[in-house]
Amino acid sequence: MKGITILGSTGSIGQSTLDVLSRHQDKYQLIAITANTCVEQILRQCLQWHPRYAVMADEKSADILRSALSNQAPDVEVLGGQQGLIQVASLPESDYVMAAIVGAAGLLSTLAAAQAGKRILLANKESLVMSGKLFMDAVSANHAQLLPIDSEHNALFQCMPAGFVRGLSQSGVTRIVLTASGGPFRTTALEQLHTVTPEQACLHPNWAMGRKISVDSATMMNKGLEVIEAGWLFNAAPDQIQVVLHPQSVIHSLVEYADGSVLAQLGNPDMRVPIAHALAWPERIASGVKPLDLIATARLDFEQVDLKRFPCLQLATEAMKTGGTATTILNAANEVAVSAFLDGRIQFTEIARIVENALADLKTVAANNLEAILEADLSARMYSTQYIEERVAC
Ligand code: NAD
Ligand code: MG
């Protein structure tokens, strides 16, 4: 029996994780769940699952949950704030930690899981983008296991040779190919892009996801973050990573070898596949996902990415090449811009502009300690917030 903590249990990945766990209650025990401020949803999860701990992002929500649980499930211990998140990411009884908080808010708890030597099921790509070297060093120093949940990286992991540690050329790998659906605006007229609404941006053609990652998929910043993520996970340089548009989202990514072989992982676009893979690895368990019907799929298309349409992808690749805190700045400016777009305060096309300006105007420094990373994150947030306030005031 493996104990598991789910950071972000009320989100899209969190709920898919609970769905997979519900099929394997003989193998996994839910120890802790966490949510931001939505008490209602985590309350339902507590009553269904009876975890030992439930954590809310702030003390006020924790108080509300605590009093709601006091009659119905007094055995669930309720914690609040960042310390609570860190505590449940490091519990001795949790062997596995699903890191599924969205954005920089997940950094410290995901890092704590690495420092506690857990098996980390990494969905929160932003933490790796922000703190790549620090995070990878914490994983290896504490003998943590890092299993990617992002469907592309999970596919790459599955296609890498057995025993792959880090380093492409030692494994005969020449290139990794990340597939991208192109999101909802792959064919929208370029001059229409500034008019698209948050609802349109969140209507992904193949995947049902949280709102932030849905917008990231529409700008393809998501793929940019994933290029950086792949760089850290597989020790790959930017020129060893290719991005290819593949509108059907059936091939989740590919690994190209020196002898010309190309291995791909295919499956229906449902996050329960990588979640089940990472939970059971190196074994296999059922995920609840229907088998892929190749005849119904019929065709697999591939296209080059148009960087004029998707400038965020280029910004991310450039930040990766710059290194240091450039990717932290990229991530923070993007989070602020996406949130402003979702609130209807800026246009879709301004997201890339805000990130570009933040990268141009803010100084990049080495990212070898947490203080430097948090400082870069904060200054990029302040910069982008001010940019938006000035823009909205005009
Ligand atoms: P979501 O918005 O559906 O859920 C986010 C979760 O984080 C919720 O449980 C929420 O309560 C919690 N949360 C939000 N802000 C918080 C804060 N300030 N403090 C503490 N908790 C907070 O997001 P999602 O789609 O499940 O994505 C989660 C992560 O997984 C993201 O990093 C995303 O990039 C990654 N991911 C998601 C998918 C997908 O299909 N949804 C695929 C690949 C990677
Ligand atoms: Mg992905």
State pLDDT tens for residues 333-380. 999 999 999 999 999 999 999 999 999 999 999 999 999 999 999 999
Give the confidence band of 392 by pLDDT, cuts at 50, 70, 90.
confident
Measure the CA–CA gap between 88 and 394, rounded to whole angstroms. Answer: 45
Element (H, E) at 300: none
CATH topology classification for 323-393: Rna Polymerase Sigma Factor; Chain: A (1.10.1740)
Mutation test residue for ligand 1: of 102, 120, 335, the one with most atoms within 8 Å of CB = 102
Q: How far is the CA of 101 from the centre of ligand 1 (A)?
A: 4
Please give the pLDDT value at position 129.
98
Average pLDDT across the chain, whole number? 96
Q: Measured from the CB, is residue 14 less than 6 Å from ligand 1?
A: yes
Per-residue pLDDT, averaged over 168-174, amounts to 90
DSSP reduced 3-state for 20: helix
Measure the CA–CA gap between 123 and 260, rounded to whole angstroms. Answer: 31
Give the confidence band of 206 by pLDDT, cuts at 50, 70, 90.
confident
> Which positions ≥6 away from 286 have C-beta within 8 Å?
23, 24, 276
Q: Measured from the CB, is residue 177 less than 6 Å from ligand 1?
A: no
Q: For the whole prediction, is pTM greater than 0.75?
A: yes
Domain ranges of the chain: 2-148, 155-297, 323-393
Q: Compute CA 223 distance to the chain's CA centroid, rounded to the nearest angstrom.
A: 11
Q: Measured from the CB, is residue 159 less than 6 Å from ligand 1?
A: no
- In DSSP terms, which residues pair with 279 in a beta bridge? none
Q: How far is the CA of 151 from the centre of ligand 2 (A)?
A: 5
Strands 53-56 and 77-80 turn out to be parallel
Q: Which ligand is nearest to the Cα of residue 226, counting in written order?
A: 2
Residue with tokens 């996801």: 209
Q: Compute CA 3 distance to the chain's CA centroid, rounded to the nearest angstrom.
A: 22
Measure the CA–CA gap between 70 and 78, rounded to whole angstroms. Answer: 10
Is the CB of residue 49 less than 8 Å from the CB of residue 58? no
CATH topology classification for 2-148: Rossmann fold (3.40.50)
DSSP reduced 3-state for 387: helix
